[in-house]
Amino acid sequence: MAEDGGSTRLAPVDASERIGLLDALRGIALAGIFVVNIEWFSRPWQEFGNGMVPGLAGIDLAVAWLVHVFVAGKFWVLFSLLFGIGFALMMERAQASGRATRMYLRRLAVLFALGVAHALLAWVGDILHAYAIAALGLLLLRGLSPRAQLGIGLAIYVGLYALSLLGGWAMVAFPVEGASELLAESVRDAEAAAAVYANGGFGEITAQRARDFSMLLTNAFGVVPMALAVFLVGSWLFRSGRIADVAGHRPFFVRMAATCLPLGLVLTLASAWLSTGDPDGFFDTRWVFASSLHGLGALPMTLGGVALLALAWQGARGQAVMTFFAPAGRMALSNYLLQSIVASLVFYGYGLAMWGRPGQAGMVLFAVLVFVAQVLASRWWLARFRFGPLEWAWRWLTYGRRPPMRNRADAV
Protein backbone atom coordinates (compact mmCIF):
# COMPACT_ATOMS: atom_id res chain seq x y z
CA MET A 1 0.00 0.00 0.00
CA ALA A 2 1.20 3.49 -0.75
CA GLU A 3 1.69 6.06 1.95
CA ASP A 4 -1.39 8.18 2.29
CA GLY A 5 -1.21 11.86 2.55
CA GLY A 6 -2.06 12.88 6.10
CA SER A 7 1.01 15.15 6.25
CA THR A 8 2.40 14.71 2.75
CA ARG A 9 2.88 17.78 0.59
CA LEU A 10 3.18 17.40 -3.16
CA ALA A 11 4.90 20.69 -3.87
CA PRO A 12 4.52 23.03 -5.63
CA VAL A 13 0.83 22.23 -6.16
CA ASP A 14 -1.65 22.63 -3.31
CA ALA A 15 -1.24 19.64 -0.96
CA SER A 16 -4.91 18.86 -0.45
CA GLU A 17 -5.53 18.60 -4.20
CA ARG A 18 -2.58 16.28 -4.82
CA ILE A 19 -3.39 14.09 -1.85
CA GLY A 20 -7.00 14.00 -2.95
CA LEU A 21 -6.03 12.73 -6.39
CA LEU A 22 -3.84 9.94 -4.99
CA ASP A 23 -6.45 8.92 -2.43
CA ALA A 24 -9.11 8.81 -5.15
CA LEU A 25 -6.88 6.66 -7.37
CA ARG A 26 -6.14 4.38 -4.44
CA GLY A 27 -9.83 3.99 -3.70
CA ILE A 28 -10.58 3.21 -7.35
CA ALA A 29 -7.78 0.62 -7.32
CA LEU A 30 -9.23 -0.93 -4.16
CA ALA A 31 -12.64 -1.32 -5.82
CA GLY A 32 -11.18 -2.91 -8.94
CA ILE A 33 -8.99 -5.32 -6.99
CA PHE A 34 -11.95 -6.61 -4.99
CA VAL A 35 -14.01 -7.13 -8.15
CA VAL A 36 -11.21 -9.36 -9.44
CA ASN A 37 -10.33 -11.04 -6.15
CA ILE A 38 -13.90 -12.02 -5.28
CA GLU A 39 -13.83 -14.84 -7.85
CA TRP A 40 -11.12 -16.60 -5.86
CA PHE A 41 -13.27 -16.84 -2.76
CA SER A 42 -15.36 -19.35 -4.68
CA ARG A 43 -12.77 -21.00 -6.93
CA PRO A 44 -9.81 -23.22 -5.96
CA TRP A 45 -6.32 -21.82 -6.38
CA GLN A 46 -5.24 -24.86 -8.37
CA GLU A 47 -7.11 -23.23 -11.28
CA PHE A 48 -5.16 -19.98 -11.00
CA GLY A 49 -3.78 -19.04 -14.40
CA ASN A 50 -6.44 -20.93 -16.34
CA GLY A 51 -8.33 -17.79 -17.37
CA MET A 52 -12.08 -17.27 -17.05
CA VAL A 53 -14.30 -19.89 -15.45
CA PRO A 54 -15.25 -22.38 -18.19
CA GLY A 55 -18.84 -23.08 -19.13
CA LEU A 56 -20.30 -19.63 -18.39
CA ALA A 57 -23.29 -18.31 -20.29
CA GLY A 58 -25.60 -15.31 -20.41
CA ILE A 59 -25.00 -12.47 -17.97
CA ASP A 60 -22.32 -14.44 -16.10
CA LEU A 61 -20.27 -14.79 -19.29
CA ALA A 62 -20.76 -11.11 -20.15
CA VAL A 63 -19.67 -9.98 -16.68
CA ALA A 64 -16.68 -12.35 -16.65
CA TRP A 65 -15.58 -11.06 -20.07
CA LEU A 66 -15.90 -7.40 -19.02
CA VAL A 67 -13.92 -8.04 -15.84
CA HIS A 68 -11.26 -9.96 -17.78
CA VAL A 69 -10.80 -7.19 -20.35
CA PHE A 70 -11.25 -4.00 -18.35
CA VAL A 71 -10.51 -4.87 -14.72
CA ALA A 72 -8.34 -7.97 -14.25
CA GLY A 73 -4.66 -7.10 -13.95
CA LYS A 74 -5.20 -3.36 -14.38
CA PHE A 75 -6.01 -2.46 -10.81
CA TRP A 76 -3.20 -4.58 -9.40
CA VAL A 77 -0.91 -2.51 -11.63
CA LEU A 78 -2.59 0.72 -10.45
CA PHE A 79 -2.06 -0.28 -6.82
CA SER A 80 1.58 -1.01 -7.59
CA LEU A 81 2.04 2.33 -9.35
CA LEU A 82 0.66 4.05 -6.26
CA PHE A 83 3.03 2.07 -4.06
CA GLY A 84 5.94 3.38 -6.13
CA ILE A 85 4.61 6.94 -5.86
CA GLY A 86 4.17 6.49 -2.10
CA PHE A 87 7.74 5.22 -1.81
CA ALA A 88 9.10 8.29 -3.57
CA LEU A 89 7.01 10.56 -1.34
CA MET A 90 8.13 8.81 1.83
CA MET A 91 11.81 8.73 0.90
CA GLU A 92 11.73 12.42 0.04
CA ARG A 93 10.52 13.21 3.56
CA ALA A 94 12.57 10.58 5.37
CA GLN A 95 15.87 11.48 3.70
CA ALA A 96 15.50 15.00 5.06
CA SER A 97 15.45 13.52 8.58
CA GLY A 98 18.43 11.24 7.90
CA ARG A 99 16.73 7.99 8.92
CA ALA A 100 15.21 6.81 5.68
CA THR A 101 16.58 3.28 5.39
CA ARG A 102 15.96 2.06 8.93
CA MET A 103 12.45 3.46 8.99
CA TYR A 104 11.59 1.99 5.61
CA LEU A 105 12.91 -1.47 6.53
CA ARG A 106 10.71 -1.46 9.65
CA ARG A 107 7.78 -0.48 7.50
CA LEU A 108 8.41 -3.37 5.10
CA ALA A 109 8.84 -5.87 7.94
CA VAL A 110 5.41 -4.94 9.29
CA LEU A 111 3.91 -5.16 5.79
CA PHE A 112 5.43 -8.62 5.24
CA ALA A 113 4.09 -9.90 8.57
CA LEU A 114 0.62 -8.53 7.80
CA GLY A 115 0.71 -10.17 4.38
CA VAL A 116 1.63 -13.62 5.67
CA ALA A 117 -1.02 -13.40 8.41
CA HIS A 118 -3.57 -12.32 5.80
CA ALA A 119 -2.71 -15.29 3.56
CA LEU A 120 -2.88 -17.88 6.34
CA LEU A 121 -5.85 -16.55 8.30
CA ALA A 122 -8.14 -15.00 5.68
CA TRP A 123 -7.22 -15.31 2.00
CA VAL A 124 -4.36 -17.00 0.17
CA GLY A 125 -4.19 -14.45 -2.64
CA ASP A 126 -2.40 -11.84 -0.51
CA ILE A 127 -0.13 -9.40 -2.36
CA LEU A 128 1.31 -7.52 0.64
CA HIS A 129 4.11 -10.00 1.41
CA ALA A 130 5.24 -9.86 -2.24
CA TYR A 131 5.12 -6.06 -2.13
CA ALA A 132 7.35 -6.06 0.95
CA ILE A 133 9.96 -8.23 -0.77
CA ALA A 134 9.83 -6.29 -4.05
CA ALA A 135 10.18 -3.00 -2.21
CA LEU A 136 13.65 -4.05 -1.04
CA GLY A 137 14.72 -3.78 -4.67
CA LEU A 138 13.08 -0.38 -4.88
CA LEU A 139 15.13 0.69 -1.87
CA LEU A 140 18.35 -0.48 -3.56
CA LEU A 141 17.52 1.41 -6.78
CA ARG A 142 16.37 4.64 -5.13
CA GLY A 143 19.53 6.51 -6.13
CA LEU A 144 18.91 6.11 -9.86
CA SER A 145 17.60 8.96 -11.93
CA PRO A 146 13.86 8.96 -12.70
CA ARG A 147 14.59 8.15 -16.35
CA ALA A 148 16.77 5.19 -15.37
CA GLN A 149 14.07 3.90 -13.03
CA LEU A 150 11.54 4.08 -15.86
CA GLY A 151 13.87 2.28 -18.27
CA ILE A 152 14.67 -0.52 -15.84
CA GLY A 153 11.04 -0.90 -14.83
CA LEU A 154 9.82 -1.21 -18.42
CA ALA A 155 12.67 -3.57 -19.31
CA ILE A 156 11.82 -5.91 -16.42
CA TYR A 157 8.10 -5.82 -17.16
CA VAL A 158 8.35 -6.44 -20.89
CA GLY A 159 11.21 -8.90 -20.45
CA LEU A 160 9.28 -11.11 -18.04
CA TYR A 161 6.31 -11.37 -20.35
CA ALA A 162 8.60 -11.99 -23.32
CA LEU A 163 10.03 -14.93 -21.37
CA SER A 164 6.50 -16.11 -20.67
CA LEU A 165 5.64 -16.01 -24.38
CA LEU A 166 8.87 -17.86 -25.12
CA GLY A 167 7.84 -20.45 -22.58
CA GLY A 168 4.53 -20.88 -24.40
CA TRP A 169 6.39 -21.48 -27.65
CA ALA A 170 8.68 -23.98 -25.91
CA MET A 171 5.64 -25.90 -24.66
CA VAL A 172 4.50 -26.27 -28.27
CA ALA A 173 7.92 -27.24 -29.58
CA PHE A 174 8.82 -29.47 -26.64
CA PRO A 175 5.67 -31.00 -25.08
CA VAL A 176 5.82 -31.55 -21.33
CA GLU A 177 6.40 -35.21 -20.52
CA GLY A 178 3.71 -36.58 -18.26
CA ALA A 179 1.48 -33.53 -18.76
CA SER A 180 -1.70 -35.59 -18.63
CA GLU A 181 -0.72 -37.08 -15.27
CA LEU A 182 0.12 -33.67 -13.87
CA LEU A 183 -3.18 -32.30 -15.16
CA ALA A 184 -5.12 -35.13 -13.54
CA GLU A 185 -3.33 -34.52 -10.26
CA SER A 186 -4.08 -30.78 -10.48
CA VAL A 187 -7.79 -31.50 -11.07
CA ARG A 188 -7.90 -33.81 -8.05
CA ASP A 189 -6.17 -31.20 -5.88
CA ALA A 190 -8.60 -28.51 -7.04
CA GLU A 191 -11.63 -30.68 -6.22
CA ALA A 192 -10.22 -31.53 -2.79
CA ALA A 193 -9.44 -27.87 -2.02
CA ALA A 194 -12.91 -26.74 -3.13
CA ALA A 195 -14.51 -29.29 -0.82
CA VAL A 196 -12.48 -28.01 2.14
CA TYR A 197 -13.25 -24.34 1.50
CA ALA A 198 -16.93 -25.07 0.94
CA ASN A 199 -17.52 -27.32 3.96
CA GLY A 200 -14.55 -27.16 6.33
CA GLY A 201 -14.20 -25.52 9.70
CA PHE A 202 -11.72 -22.74 10.47
CA GLY A 203 -8.90 -25.16 11.35
CA GLU A 204 -9.33 -27.27 8.22
CA ILE A 205 -9.54 -24.23 5.97
CA THR A 206 -6.52 -22.61 7.60
CA ALA A 207 -4.54 -25.79 6.91
CA GLN A 208 -5.73 -25.70 3.28
CA ARG A 209 -4.73 -22.04 3.04
CA ALA A 210 -1.27 -22.98 4.27
CA ARG A 211 -0.98 -25.69 1.60
CA ASP A 212 -2.21 -23.35 -1.13
CA PHE A 213 0.08 -20.55 0.07
CA SER A 214 3.11 -22.83 -0.14
CA MET A 215 2.01 -23.86 -3.65
CA LEU A 216 1.63 -20.23 -4.74
CA LEU A 217 5.01 -19.21 -3.35
CA THR A 218 6.53 -20.35 -6.64
CA ASN A 219 4.63 -17.46 -8.26
CA ALA A 220 6.81 -15.08 -6.26
CA PHE A 221 9.58 -15.63 -8.80
CA GLY A 222 7.38 -13.75 -11.26
CA VAL A 223 5.25 -11.55 -9.00
CA VAL A 224 8.09 -9.94 -7.04
CA PRO A 225 10.13 -8.66 -10.03
CA MET A 226 6.87 -7.68 -11.77
CA ALA A 227 5.83 -5.63 -8.75
CA LEU A 228 9.28 -4.04 -8.59
CA ALA A 229 9.01 -3.10 -12.26
CA VAL A 230 5.73 -1.29 -11.71
CA PHE A 231 7.02 0.33 -8.49
CA LEU A 232 9.85 1.85 -10.52
CA VAL A 233 7.43 3.24 -13.10
CA GLY A 234 5.37 4.76 -10.28
CA SER A 235 8.47 6.27 -8.67
CA TRP A 236 9.39 7.81 -12.02
CA LEU A 237 5.88 9.23 -12.40
CA PHE A 238 6.29 11.14 -9.13
CA ARG A 239 9.98 12.07 -9.31
CA SER A 240 9.60 13.40 -12.85
CA GLY A 241 7.16 15.96 -11.43
CA ARG A 242 4.29 14.89 -13.67
CA ILE A 243 1.84 13.43 -11.17
CA ALA A 244 2.49 16.39 -8.86
CA ASP A 245 1.54 18.89 -11.57
CA VAL A 246 -0.96 17.37 -13.94
CA ALA A 247 -2.14 20.76 -15.22
CA GLY A 248 1.43 21.75 -16.09
CA HIS A 249 1.98 18.47 -17.96
CA ARG A 250 -1.40 18.19 -19.65
CA PRO A 251 0.04 17.43 -23.15
CA PHE A 252 2.02 14.53 -21.66
CA PHE A 253 -1.08 12.98 -20.07
CA VAL A 254 -3.09 13.46 -23.26
CA ARG A 255 -0.38 11.64 -25.23
CA MET A 256 -0.14 8.88 -22.65
CA ALA A 257 -3.89 8.28 -22.80
CA ALA A 258 -3.97 8.37 -26.61
CA THR A 259 -1.11 5.89 -27.04
CA CYS A 260 -1.23 3.59 -24.02
CA LEU A 261 -4.96 2.89 -23.91
CA PRO A 262 -5.27 1.59 -27.50
CA LEU A 263 -2.09 -0.49 -27.16
CA GLY A 264 -3.23 -2.08 -23.91
CA LEU A 265 -6.73 -2.69 -25.23
CA VAL A 266 -5.48 -4.43 -28.39
CA LEU A 267 -3.24 -6.77 -26.38
CA THR A 268 -6.02 -7.49 -23.89
CA LEU A 269 -8.61 -8.19 -26.60
CA ALA A 270 -6.15 -10.54 -28.28
CA SER A 271 -5.81 -12.33 -24.94
CA ALA A 272 -9.60 -12.56 -24.57
CA TRP A 273 -9.91 -14.01 -28.07
CA LEU A 274 -7.27 -16.65 -27.36
CA SER A 275 -8.91 -17.59 -24.08
CA THR A 276 -12.33 -18.24 -25.63
CA GLY A 277 -13.49 -21.78 -24.92
CA ASP A 278 -12.65 -24.35 -22.29
CA PRO A 279 -8.97 -24.89 -21.50
CA ASP A 280 -7.37 -28.30 -21.60
CA GLY A 281 -5.70 -27.47 -18.30
CA PHE A 282 -2.65 -25.63 -17.01
CA PHE A 283 -0.48 -27.01 -19.80
CA ASP A 284 -2.74 -25.66 -22.56
CA THR A 285 -0.34 -23.45 -24.53
CA ARG A 286 -3.24 -21.30 -25.71
CA TRP A 287 -3.76 -20.16 -22.14
CA VAL A 288 -0.06 -19.48 -21.65
CA PHE A 289 -0.10 -17.12 -24.64
CA ALA A 290 -3.40 -15.57 -23.53
CA SER A 291 -2.12 -14.96 -20.00
CA SER A 292 1.12 -13.41 -21.28
CA LEU A 293 -0.67 -11.04 -23.66
CA HIS A 294 -3.13 -10.10 -20.93
CA GLY A 295 -0.35 -9.19 -18.53
CA LEU A 296 1.62 -7.39 -21.22
CA GLY A 297 -1.39 -5.20 -21.98
CA ALA A 298 -2.14 -4.40 -18.34
CA LEU A 299 0.59 -1.78 -17.84
CA PRO A 300 -0.11 0.40 -20.90
CA MET A 301 -3.87 0.13 -20.34
CA THR A 302 -3.46 1.17 -16.70
CA LEU A 303 -1.14 4.06 -17.55
CA GLY A 304 -3.68 5.27 -20.10
CA GLY A 305 -6.42 5.01 -17.50
CA VAL A 306 -4.34 6.94 -14.96
CA ALA A 307 -3.81 9.66 -17.55
CA LEU A 308 -7.56 9.96 -18.17
CA LEU A 309 -8.34 10.04 -14.45
CA ALA A 310 -5.63 12.61 -13.75
CA LEU A 311 -7.04 14.82 -16.50
CA ALA A 312 -10.59 14.32 -15.20
CA TRP A 313 -9.43 15.39 -11.73
CA GLN A 314 -8.62 18.84 -13.14
CA GLY A 315 -12.33 19.48 -13.76
CA ALA A 316 -14.88 20.12 -11.02
CA ARG A 317 -17.26 17.40 -12.22
CA GLY A 318 -14.57 14.76 -12.60
CA GLN A 319 -13.09 15.62 -9.23
CA ALA A 320 -16.51 15.39 -7.58
CA VAL A 321 -17.08 11.89 -8.98
CA MET A 322 -13.60 10.64 -8.09
CA THR A 323 -13.75 12.12 -4.59
CA PHE A 324 -16.38 9.50 -3.74
CA PHE A 325 -13.60 6.87 -3.72
CA ALA A 326 -11.12 8.90 -1.65
CA PRO A 327 -12.23 7.91 1.90
CA ALA A 328 -11.72 4.22 1.11
CA GLY A 329 -8.37 5.10 -0.46
CA ARG A 330 -7.18 6.86 2.69
CA MET A 331 -7.80 3.59 4.57
CA ALA A 332 -6.63 1.27 1.79
CA LEU A 333 -4.72 -1.19 4.00
CA SER A 334 -7.57 -1.59 6.48
CA ASN A 335 -10.14 -1.91 3.71
CA TYR A 336 -8.06 -4.38 1.68
CA LEU A 337 -7.79 -6.77 4.62
CA LEU A 338 -11.41 -6.18 5.66
CA GLN A 339 -12.58 -7.23 2.19
CA SER A 340 -10.92 -10.61 2.66
CA ILE A 341 -12.38 -11.08 6.14
CA VAL A 342 -15.91 -10.27 4.97
CA ALA A 343 -15.66 -12.45 1.85
CA SER A 344 -14.20 -15.40 3.76
CA LEU A 345 -17.03 -15.22 6.30
CA VAL A 346 -19.58 -15.21 3.50
CA PHE A 347 -18.16 -17.88 1.18
CA TYR A 348 -16.15 -20.30 3.34
CA GLY A 349 -17.48 -23.26 5.27
CA TYR A 350 -16.87 -21.67 8.71
CA GLY A 351 -19.10 -18.75 7.69
CA LEU A 352 -22.23 -18.65 5.54
CA ALA A 353 -20.79 -21.36 3.24
CA MET A 354 -21.82 -19.62 0.00
CA TRP A 355 -18.91 -21.17 -1.92
CA GLY A 356 -19.88 -21.79 -5.54
CA ARG A 357 -23.46 -20.56 -5.19
CA PRO A 358 -23.53 -17.09 -6.77
CA GLY A 359 -22.67 -16.80 -10.44
CA GLN A 360 -20.05 -14.40 -11.77
CA ALA A 361 -22.55 -11.55 -11.93
CA GLY A 362 -23.66 -12.20 -8.36
CA MET A 363 -20.07 -12.26 -7.10
CA VAL A 364 -19.26 -8.96 -8.77
CA LEU A 365 -22.45 -7.36 -7.43
CA PHE A 366 -21.48 -8.54 -3.95
CA ALA A 367 -18.02 -6.97 -4.31
CA VAL A 368 -19.50 -3.65 -5.46
CA LEU A 369 -21.98 -3.52 -2.58
CA VAL A 370 -19.28 -4.31 -0.01
CA PHE A 371 -17.04 -1.62 -1.45
CA VAL A 372 -19.80 1.02 -1.35
CA ALA A 373 -20.37 0.11 2.30
CA GLN A 374 -16.63 0.50 2.90
CA VAL A 375 -16.65 3.97 1.35
CA LEU A 376 -19.50 5.07 3.62
CA ALA A 377 -17.91 3.48 6.69
CA SER A 378 -14.54 5.05 5.84
CA ARG A 379 -16.14 8.48 5.52
CA TRP A 380 -17.72 8.06 8.96
CA TRP A 381 -14.46 6.83 10.49
CA LEU A 382 -12.28 9.59 9.03
CA ALA A 383 -14.64 12.26 10.28
CA ARG A 384 -13.56 11.13 13.76
CA PHE A 385 -10.08 9.67 13.37
CA ARG A 386 -6.95 10.69 11.48
CA PHE A 387 -6.09 7.23 10.14
CA GLY A 388 -7.64 3.86 9.52
CA PRO A 389 -6.95 1.40 12.36
CA LEU A 390 -4.26 -0.58 10.53
CA GLU A 391 -2.75 2.56 8.99
CA TRP A 392 -2.43 3.96 12.52
CA ALA A 393 -0.77 0.78 13.82
CA TRP A 394 1.50 0.65 10.77
CA ARG A 395 2.75 4.18 11.46
CA TRP A 396 3.26 3.39 15.13
CA LEU A 397 5.41 0.36 14.34
CA THR A 398 7.25 2.20 11.56
CA TYR A 399 8.16 5.38 13.39
CA GLY A 400 8.48 3.90 16.86
CA ARG A 401 6.03 6.31 18.42
CA ARG A 402 2.27 6.29 18.71
CA PRO A 403 0.65 8.90 16.46
CA PRO A 404 -2.47 10.71 17.69
CA MET A 405 -5.54 8.86 16.52
CA ARG A 406 -8.45 11.26 16.95
CA ASN A 407 -8.99 14.34 14.88
CA ARG A 408 -8.17 17.47 16.82
CA ALA A 409 -11.80 18.55 17.02
CA ASP A 410 -12.68 15.20 18.64
CA ALA A 411 -9.59 14.84 20.82
CA VAL A 412 -10.31 14.55 24.53
Per-residue confidence band for 18, with pLDDT thresholds at 50, 70 and 90: very low
Dihedral of alpha carbons 333, 339, 340, 341, sign? positive
Residues with Cβ within 8 Å of 38's Cβ and at least 6 positions away in sequence, in order, are: 343, 363, 364, 366, 367
| pLDDT tens digits for range 357-390 | 888 999 999 999 999 999 999 999 999 999 999 9
Rounded CA-CA distance 134/140 in Å is 10
* Cα angle: 231, vertex 232, 235; to 5 degrees: 85
pLDDT of residue 410: 52
pLDDT of residue 153: 97
pLDDT of residue 259: 97
Structure pTM?
0.89
Dihedral of alpha carbons 29, 35, 38, 43, sign? negative
Is 46 within 8 Å of 189 (Cβ atoms)?
Answer: yes
| pLDDT tens digits for range 124-151 | 999 999 999 999 999 899 889 999 999 9
Is the pLDDT assigned to residue 14 strictly greater than 80? no
Rounded CA-CA distance 244/259 in Å is 21
Is 61 within 8 Å of 278 (Cβ atoms)?
Answer: no
Q: What is the DSSP letter of 13?
A: S
Q: Which amino acid is at 272?
A: A
To the nearest 10 degrees (0 to 180), the angle between helices 100-121 and 128-140 is 160
Least confident of 28-37, 86-95, 281-290, 402-411: 281-290
